[in-house]
Amino acid sequence: MTTTNPTANRLPMPLYTQVLIAVLFGGLLGVIFGQEPYLGGVTNAQLGKLGMVVVQLLKTLAIPLIFFAILDALIRTSLPLSQGTRLLVICLVNVTVAMTIGLVIMNTWQPGLSWQGHVDQLLQLVPGSKAPAKVATSQTPIEDLAAYIPRTILSPFSTNNIIGVVLLALVIGSGLRRLHSRAARTGAEDHAVVRGVEWMYDWLVRILGWIIHLVPLAVFGVVAQVVGKSGLGVFSVLWIFLVAMLAGLTIHALIYYPLLAWFVGKKSPKVYVGEGADAIMTAMSCNSSLATVPVTLQCLHRMNVSAQSARLAACVGTNLNNDGITLYEAMAALFLAQALGYDLSLTSQLLIVAASIIAGAGVAGIPEAGLIVLPLVLSAAGLPDTVIAAAIPLIMTVDWIIARARSGVNVMSDMLVAILLDAGLKPSAAESGTVRYQPETVVQRTESPLS
């Protein structure tokens, strides 16, 4: 006779449910007590400071997480040159279209202007803060780009220079990949540094899981502080941010993707969207494109996409097919820049786009990835820490909706890349060759620390 642990089958409350509850009770606390002390002198302002500590923890963890994620991906991924080149070209085209859609929406509609004045209200919640000056931009694009080249090895980590961190990761990762490949050929054990990178990445993901559990607490504290000082009216403009983000994601996913799959990949929208619906809905429900990989592979099989192309796009390419995250990060940064009255040049906007792409690839497949790297992208936009600390918790109140749309877009990107890869393969090539990358291993290794 076997016994069952009564807590084994108990499903944890989804993060978005916890955030909604935190918003409700935080707002209630702010309305009831305002700025007055309660419970032995505790104030809503003190709760807000506690919430901003969690936001700072996310920002602190993001840089090393991206660095070791890129190192780990370079060490582990095995990819033929010709197929890898085709994969990179397709992903580059897709993300370029995504960024173009985002830039057009943000520069023509300029939805962030509706928040002008409201961000200043949030800044007043941070003692000693003041409205920031406008971003100072260099005179030439070369000077803008040169600013991201690391002066020392450690400087990108201390200055949150995400582009510099990625450059270092690519250089170091290439060397470690050679060590790993040499060990695999000779049958020797991996170098201690290679094992250390894998261990460090696993632990960073585990720590991230612990911090994610504190996000509802951060939302609760900051919402209580915001409502206590400014009232419920400060949330009346959130719908504009939500509509702007969803507009960009919808245009990219429901217009660009189906048309490209139809005219280039020879898969009609009925096949592409209809047969891929299971993967799309799974990603939106579990809020992770990486956890959806097994379902994605099943959907691609029903579309008659070769196993080689399916594995290449959904397993290896999932680190690159993050149009949902990159589009959201760039649009959110530009939205807040407009709200603060920043006059960003095209070069500055393109640097924000580059930071969004790099950040999206660096934390690919991790739940709530868009929320984790958003502070870094906002820093790349030139936003001060006081603005980021005040704006992030406000965005969190609707991020659970946008996050599910991002995951759905990322899975649709995986399926589109597989279809386009298959369309470029000869029949004989489609049946030969494999990619040494197992989806079950990917899901277990990346998701388990957060479960």
Residue 322, domain member (yes or no):
yes
Residue 7, domain member (yes or no):
no
Q: Terminal CA-to-CA distance of the chain, rounded, Å?
A: 28
Per-residue confidence (pLDDT) for residue 436, from 0 to 100: 39
- CATH number of the CATH domain containing 148: 1.10.3860
**Calpha distance 80→433 (Å, rounded):** 9
Per-residue confidence (pLDDT) for residue 132, from 0 to 100: 44
Buried b (16+ CB within 10 A) or exposed e, 170-191: eebbeebbeebeeeeeeeeebb
Residue 59, domain member (yes or no):
yes
Q: Do residues 73 and 360 touch, judged by C-beta distance below 8 A?
A: no
**Calpha distance 135→449 (Å, rounded):** 39
Q: Do residues 20 and 198 touch, judged by C-beta distance below 8 A?
A: no
CA-wise closest residue to 292 among 443, 94, 76, 436: 443
DSSP tag of 11 = P
304-353 pLDDT tens trace: 998 878 877 876 666 677 888 889 988 988 888 888 888 888 888 888 88
Per-residue confidence (pLDDT) for residue 258, from 0 to 100: 96
How far out from the chain centre does Cα 271 lie? 28
For the chain, the domain total comes to 1
Q: What is the mean pLDDT of residues 19-24?
A: 82
Q: Do residues 437 and 83 touch, judged by C-beta distance below 8 A?
A: no
Domain around 201: 15-450
Per-residue confidence band for 266, with pLDDT thresholds at 50, 70 and 90: very high
Buried b (16+ CB within 10 A) or exposed e, 404-420: bbbbbbbbbbbbbbbbb
Please name the residues in contact with 276: beta carbons below 8 A apart, sequence gap of 6 or more.
296, 299, 300, 303, 411, 412, 415
Please name the residues in contact with 19: beta carbons below 8 A apart, sequence gap of 6 or more.
215, 216, 219, 396, 397, 399, 400
**Calpha distance 279→415 (Å, rounded):** 9
Q: Do residues 299 and 275 touch, judged by C-beta distance below 8 A?
A: yes
Residue 4, domain member (yes or no):
no
Q: Do residues 133 and 343 touch, judged by C-beta distance below 8 A?
A: no
Q: Do residues 439 and 293 touch, judged by C-beta distance below 8 A?
A: yes
Q: Which residue has the higher pLDDT, 166 or 127?
A: 166
Percent pLDDT > 90 in the chain is 16
Per-residue confidence (pLDDT) for residue 231, from 0 to 100: 72
Residue 186, domain member (yes or no):
yes
Residue 58, domain member (yes or no):
yes
Tokens of 165: 């961190």
Per-residue confidence band for 269, with pLDDT thresholds at 50, 70 and 90: very high
Query: Helices 162-186 and 346-362 sit at what angle, rounded to 10 degrees?
Result: 40
100-155 pLDDT tens trace: 999 999 999 999 888 777 666 555 544 334 444 444 444 455 665 566 666 777 77
Per-residue confidence (pLDDT) for residue 20, from 0 to 100: 78
Q: Do residues 46 and 219 touch, judged by C-beta distance below 8 A?
A: no
Residue 363, domain member (yes or no):
yes
Q: Do residues 311 and 72 touch, judged by C-beta distance below 8 A?
A: no
Mean pLDDT rounded to a whole number for the chain:
76
Please name the residues in contact with 381: beta carbons below 8 A apart, sequence gap of 6 or more.
135, 333, 334, 336, 337, 342, 344, 348, 352, 355
SS3 42: strand
Contacts 24+ apart (CB under 8 A), 377-380: 377/162, 377/329, 377/330, 377/332, 377/333, 377/352, 378/332, 378/333, 378/336, 379/59, 379/160, 379/162, 380/162, 380/163, 380/333, 380/351, 380/352, 380/355
Per-residue confidence (pLDDT) for residue 412, from 0 to 100: 95
> What's phi and psi for 42, nearest 5 deg?
-70, 140
**Calpha distance 359→163 (Å, rounded):** 9
Residue 2, domain member (yes or no):
no
Percent pLDDT > 70 in the chain is 71
